Amino acid sequence: MEIYLDNSATTKPCAEAVEACVNAMTKTYGNPSSLHDVGFAAEKCIKEAKKQIAAALKCDVSEIVFTSGATESNNLALVGAAQAKIRRGKTIVISAVEHPSVLETVHALAQQGFTVKTVQPQSDGTFSAQSFADAVDSDTTLVSCMMVNNETGLLLPIAEIAAAVKAKKPDVLVHTDAVQAFLKLPIRFPALSVDLMSISGHKVYAPKGIGALIVKKGVRLIPQITGGGQQNGVRSGTEPVPMIAAFGAAVAAQRTKLSARIAHYEALSKRLRDAFSQNEDVSFRSGDACVPYIVSLSVFGVRSETMLHFLEQKGIYVSSGSACAKGAHSHVMDALGVDRMTADETLRISFSPETTEEMIDTLVSAILEGEQTLAKQRVRG
């Protein structure tokens, strides 16, 4: 039996998303910009998806801009906002644990003359809202902070961060990468006081290749893809109607089950932690400030890649960290003060609604077996 526990990397598209995608490809296949009935049908499909996503986030349909995924959403938010506000300042503030699509984007902006300030975590690994406000100065125009860290599951206080930042400098734009939080935590876009929010389809049981940037009314971005002026000129290009329809359908299917899923994840996380509570060779990176559906743990002396492939042979699929890193050393672990040896032993386990307690028990047994089997390969004594 396949036990897939790498849902932070990607999720299996749900039946509703697949059906919506196929219907759009075979029935509403027109260009949504075409001025005839086939085009109008495709346009209607997009509007319906926007309603479904807006209902989940409590945002306005006009605030949704579809993109090819979260990486493009983050690029559009950061570069588009930085360029739009360049006359007011050239300083950007980010957290030290951002996704590479944020880190590399601000690095590119730094090469263009922007100043990037990085907020470090506190001694306990969490972030304070005040530290972001303290980093804001008269030249700051943009703050970007993820909502849930993709490696450890750390929940960052984005609403408090936005409030603190705007209390100090009201015209600063605040962006959040909410990819690992959307449809897993209750999110109301207006309540967060952020200006820009990135979300992704393939993290919420829709296909890869579709995402969105939520742009608060009145916020101006410089378009990064120009052309036919689709989506009010913010993101040109013929909209991928099948992917958009699938995204909307996946959101509609998931949004009403949130409370039950959170309780389910909490039970799974507790079961996993309790199973290793007496095992001194297994330690957890994910603490009380982390969400329950992402668990980061390390097995003393066993490299994560070695354990990962041991589990893979048993049909159990986990990650050694961020899927985007492809085994590279983790900047997140560095920021959290985790030594290189321990970081190299760390696994990321992430749940879905289909994850069962039996799957967790099987995982625990396999890790314990791996711990014994791989002991002679340990990297430290």
Domain at 193, CATH number: 3.40.640.10
Looking at the structure, tell me whether residues 248 and 141 fall in a common domain: yes
- Is residue 75 within 8 Å of 67, Cβ to Cβ? no
Q: Are residues 246 and 282 in the same domain?
A: no
2, 76, 375 from 361: Cα distances, Å: 14, 42, 21
Number of folded domains that form the chain? 2
State the pLDDT at residue 139: 97
Give the pLDDT of residue 327: 53
Give yes or no: residues 175 and 320 share one domain. no
Q: What is the pLDDT of residue 338?
A: 86
Residue 1, judged by CB atoms within 10 A of its CB (0-12, 13-18, 19+), counts as exposed
User: Residue 325: helix, strand or coil by DSSP?
Assistant: helix
122 and 250 within one domain: yes
CATH number at residue 370: 3.90.1150.10
pLDDT for residue 328: 66
Over residues 280-328, the pLDDT tens digits come to 999 998 888 999 999 999 999 999 999 999 999 999 999 986 545 455 6
Same domain, 75 and 117: yes
Contact 180, 294 (CB under 8 A): yes
My answer on whether 225 and 343 are in the same domain is no
- In which residue ranges of the chain is pLDDT below 50? 323, 325, 379-381
Residue 362 shares a structural domain with residue 286:
yes
309: left (phi over 0), alpha (psi -120 to 50) or beta: alpha
21 is catalytic: no
Q: Where are the alpha helices (DSSP H) in the chain?
A: 15-26, 37-57, 70-84, 100-111, 129-135, 158-168, 189-192, 241-254, 258-275, 304-312, 331-335, 340-343, 357-373
Q: pTM for the full model? A: 0.94
Query: Which of 255, 284, 300 is the last residue before a domain boundary?
Result: 255
Active-site residue among 21, 45, 145, 324? 324
- In this structure, the answer to whether residues 261 and 243 fall within a common structural domain is no
Last residue of a domain, one of 196, 226, 255: 255
Q: How many CB atoms lie within 10 A of CB 244?
A: 28
Question: What backbone torsions phi and psi does residue 48 show, to the nearest 5 degrees?
Answer: -65, -40
Looking at residue 271, what is its pLDDT? 97
309 and 334 together in one domain: yes
**pLDDT at position 339, please?**
85
Does residue 277 share a domain with residue 248?
no
- The residue segments making up the domain with residue 98 are 15-255
Asked if 283 and 217 sit in the same domain, the reply is: no
- Do 70 and 180 share a domain, yes or no? yes
Domain boundary among 221, 255, 289: 255
Q: What is the DSSP string of 265-318?
A: HHHHHHHHHHHTTT-TTEEES--TTB-TTEEEEEETTS-HHHHHHHHHTTTEE-
